[in-house]
Amino acid sequence: MNLSSEEDFFATYFCDFVAFMTDLNQILNFLPLSETIATAGQPTVEQFSDIKQAGYQTIVNLAPATSTYAIPNEQEIVESQGMQYVHIPVVWEEPTQEDFERFVSTINRHVNQKVFVHCAMNMRVSAFMYLYRRIQESVSDEQAKQDLHRIWMPNDTWQTFIDQVLERNLGID
């Protein structure tokens, strides 16, 4: 069977896309939320090149430098590959409204780019993305919660934080 050049191109593009997604799926708790936002736990040094090849332009890291699996020179690694790096260290036991506001500002500044957001395990990130999607994108609670729960069920500290941010921003208790 002969394929036209358009079909050849599509077949090649699709195979490349599947290969990139397969590589990204190797990243701890990888979860794409849209064409422009993906979330995960801590990538390895080698996985940052897969992220770059998949077209991501900005890396946002919510884990403190002292967290499990942290890469000491992550900013240098990311920037050496031509991606932007934003570090918003969110203390696991004490997430704050200010952390979330900084996160919202960062995501909104990069809304026209592919953004890869990670922390140690994708728990901080999934909670922040749940809130971002509810407050900034008006995504339904059911839809946003489904993605949150694919990663984890927030503990008491994080559920209290989520409830407080929703109350402050949407008037929901």
Q: What is the pTM of this model?
A: 0.87
Q: Where are the alpha helices (DSSP H) in the chain?
A: 5-25, 47-53, 74-80, 97-109, 123-135, 141-151, 156-170
Predicted confidence (pLDDT) at residue 173 exceeds the cutoff of 70? no
Give the three-class secondary structure for 58.
Answer: strand
Name the token pair of 173.
Answer: 């208790």
pLDDT tens for 36-48 read: 999 999 999 999 9
Per-residue pLDDT, 17: 45
| 116: nearest Cα among 46, 18, 27 | 27
Supply the CATH number for residue 42's domain. 3.90.190.10
Across 111-129, average pLDDT: 97
Count how many domains the chain has.
1
Listed ranges 4-8, 12-16, 125-129, 167-171; the one with the highest mean pLDDT: 125-129
**Rounded Cα–Cα distance for residues 131 and 97 (Å):** 11
Predicted confidence (pLDDT) at residue 52 exceeds the cutoff of 50? yes
Please give the residue range of the domain that contains residue 150: 5-170
170: how many CB neighbours lie within 10 A of its CB?
Answer: 13
**Residue 59 — very low, low, confident or very high, per pLDDT cuts 50/70/90?**
very high
**Rounded Cα–Cα distance for residues 72 and 65 (Å):** 7
Across 47-56, average pLDDT: 96
The interaxial angle of helices 97-109 and 156-170, nearest 10 deg, is 70
44: how many CB neighbours lie within 10 A of its CB?
Answer: 12
